[in-house]
């Protein structure tokens, strides 16, 4: 049977039995929040050494470099150029121009925000262990989803840029939410300045994390998204449905149908676990 038909069927059965109250009794235990916790430093990967960087200076550099190659390039080069000053090779020969591809959510396609793409690339370069990379990336991405940004303000600048909460790691959602919050157009100079300052924010946040991490003082802040935990309890690989693998904020794209709100618990309770 088609899965959506199955949902309607249980809807009918449940409605017939007048069991709205009953359905709450079938609620599965939702996945627990990730507790704040220490993440141990891993060895630098290959010759890609790290040394403490000043977050404010890094933010200013990212803001400056934005005009050369946009968001991803700005974040990436703000860190690499400083490490090249400290260590020389291999940093000096890194082909940074490649990072221009990430602008506008990858070639202007509006997918992953370029500032995050740049920061995640740096985590990938500097942190050798994959699980640790994932943990750091998740912290950074959740912070980005939930924090009113931009915060960074260049020295000697009088102009105020309105803030917005992206609710998503996607360039499209992030920039469009901002146009609504600010009443400025997507092609406006204010929007460009917003993304330019955002590059400063992400660069600064990243080096703050990396400084703590390589000193062995990094505590994952436990940024949480209760909706994601709830949804993946049933839809994720440990639930019965096993159709969803993402940590993105589900409600930035989905709202639950009425049938789902009333009867998903009961339907879920009755259904077979997928292989
Ligand atoms: C109690 C388990 C459970 C939870 C929690 C849950 N779902 Fe579902 N969901 C189901 C079941 C059962 C179906 C119907 C089976 C199917 O179509 O695969 C379904 C179907 C869906 C569908 C497709 C059909 C529809 O009604 O729209 C979407 C989209 C969806 N869920 C999104 C979500 C989101 C987003 C969340 C979190 C806000 C969520 N679900 C939480 C069990 C659950
Ligand atoms: C960036 C937008 C986006 C986000 C964020 C997102 N989804 Fe989706 N989801 C989609 C799209 C697009 C589809 C495909 C829908 C289609 O083709 O009908 C989909 C499909 C689904 C379906 C199958 C729907 C059906 O009709 O059977 C489920 C269930 C679902 N998503 C759950 C989730 C859950 C749970 C989360 C969070 C952990 C999530 N999604 C996050 C965009 C998103």
Residue range 94-124, pLDDT digits in tens: 999 999 999 999 999 999 999 999 999 999 9
Nearest CA to ligand 1 atom 41: 231
Residue 202 is predicted with a pLDDT of 98
Give the integer Cα–Cα distance in Å for 137 and 107. 21
Spatial neighbors of 180 by CB under 8 A, at least 6 apart, are 164
15 CA to centre of ligand 1 in angstroms: 18
248 CA to centre of ligand 1 in angstroms: 15
Residue 38 is predicted with a pLDDT of 83
Average pLDDT over residues 164-184: 97
Q: Mean of the per-residue pLDDT values for the chain?
A: 89
Give the integer Cα–Cα distance in Å for 191 and 184. 7
Q: Which of 21-25, 39-43, 61-65, 78-82 has the lowest mean pLDDT?
A: 21-25
Residue 73, ligand 1, Cβ within 6 A: no
In the chain, the percentage of residues whose pLDDT exceeds 70 is 91
Residue 188 is predicted with a pLDDT of 97
CA distances (Å), origin 258, targets 94, 122, 252, 273: 52, 43, 18, 23
Residue 268, ligand 1, Cβ within 6 A: yes
Which ligand has the minimum distance to the alpha carbon of residue 105? Answer: 2
Which of 156, 76, 66, 60 lies closest to 116, judged by CA?
76
**Sign of the dihedral defined by the CA atoms of residues 124, 130, 133, 134, in that order:** positive
Residue 28, ligand 1, Cβ within 6 A: yes
Residue 15 is predicted with a pLDDT of 45
Residue range 199-255, pLDDT digits in tens: 999 999 999 999 999 999 998 877 788 989 999 999 999 899 999 999 999 999 998
Residue 224 is predicted with a pLDDT of 84
Query: The tokens of 2 are what?
Result: 């088609």
* Cβ neighbours of 203 (radius 10 Å): 31
* Cβ neighbours of 117 (radius 10 Å): 24
The gap between the terminal CA atoms of the chain, to the nearest Å, is 17
Residue 173, ligand 1, Cβ within 6 A: no
In the chain, the percentage of residues whose pLDDT exceeds 90 is 69
Return the ligand 2 atom nearest residue 236 CA.
35
Residue 233, ligand 1, Cβ within 6 A: yes
Of the two residues 31 and 182, the one the predictor is more confident about is 182
Pocket test for ligand 1, best of 234, 236, 261, 270 (most atoms within 8 A of CB): 234
Give the integer Cα–Cα distance in Å for 72 and 275. 40
Query: The tokens of 226 are what?
Result: 């209760």
Average pLDDT over residues 74-92: 97
Residue 227, ligand 1, Cβ within 6 A: yes
Could you tell me if 82 and 88 are in contact, meaning their C-beta atoms sit under 8 angstroms apart?
A: no
Give the integer Cα–Cα distance in Å for 143 and 209. 12
Residue 145 is predicted with a pLDDT of 96
**Sign of the dihedral defined by the CA atoms of residues 87, 139, 166, 159, in that order:** negative
Could you tell me if 72 and 115 are in contact, meaning their C-beta atoms sit under 8 angstroms apart?
A: yes
Residue 228, ligand 1, Cβ within 6 A: no
Residue 81 is predicted with a pLDDT of 98
Residue range 7-55, pLDDT digits in tens: 444 444 444 444 444 445 667 888 888 777 788 887 777 889 999 999 9
Pocket test for ligand 1, best of 264, 270, 271, 272 (most atoms within 8 A of CB): 264
Could you tell me if 207 and 62 are in contact, meaning their C-beta atoms sit under 8 angstroms apart?
A: no
Residue 10 is predicted with a pLDDT of 45
* Cβ neighbours of 97 (radius 10 Å): 11
Give the integer Cα–Cα distance in Å for 258 and 240. 21
Give the integer Cα–Cα distance in Å for 103 and 112. 9
CA distances (Å), origin 20, targets 9, 10, 80, 139: 15, 12, 57, 37
251 CA to centre of ligand 1 in angstroms: 12
Return the ligand 2 atom nearest residue 168 CA.
5
- Kindly tell me if the per-residue pLDDT of 72 is higher than 60: yes
* Cβ neighbours of 9 (radius 10 Å): 15
């Amino acid at each position: 049977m088609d899965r959506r038909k199955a949902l309607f069927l249980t809807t009918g059965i449940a409605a017939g039995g007048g069991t709205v109250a009953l359905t709450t009794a079938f609620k599965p235990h939702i996945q627990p929040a990730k507790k704040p916790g220490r993440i141990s430093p891993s060895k630098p990967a290959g010759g890609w050494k790290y040394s403490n960087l000043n977050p404010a200076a890094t933010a200013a550099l990212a803001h400056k470099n934005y005009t050369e190659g946009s968001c991803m390039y700005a974040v990436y080069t703000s860190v690499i150029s400083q490490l090249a000053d400290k260590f020389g090779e291999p940093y000096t020969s890194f082909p940074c121009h490649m990072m221009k591809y990430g602008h506008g959510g990858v070639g202007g396609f509006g997918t992953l925000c370029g500032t995050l793409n740049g920061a995640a690339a740096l985590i990938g370069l500097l942190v050798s262990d994959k699980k640790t990379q994932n943990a750091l990336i998740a912290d950074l991405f959740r912070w980005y989803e939930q924090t009113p940004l931009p915060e960074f303000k260049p020295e000697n600048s009088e102009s105020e840029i309105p803030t917005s909460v992206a609710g998503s790691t996607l360039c499209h959602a992030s920039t469009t939410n901002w146009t609504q919050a600010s009443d400025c157009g997507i092609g406006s100079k204010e929007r460009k300045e917003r993304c330019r300052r955002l590059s400063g924010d992400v660069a600064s946040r990243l080096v703050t994390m990396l400084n703590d991490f390589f000193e062995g003082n990094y505590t994952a802040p436990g940024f949480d998204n209760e909706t994601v935990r709830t949804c993946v309890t049933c839809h994720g690989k440990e639930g019965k449905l096993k159709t969803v693998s993402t940590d993105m904020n589900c409600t930035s794209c989905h709202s639950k149908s009425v049938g789902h709100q009333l009867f998903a618990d009961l339907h879920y309770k009755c259904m077979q676990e997928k292989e």
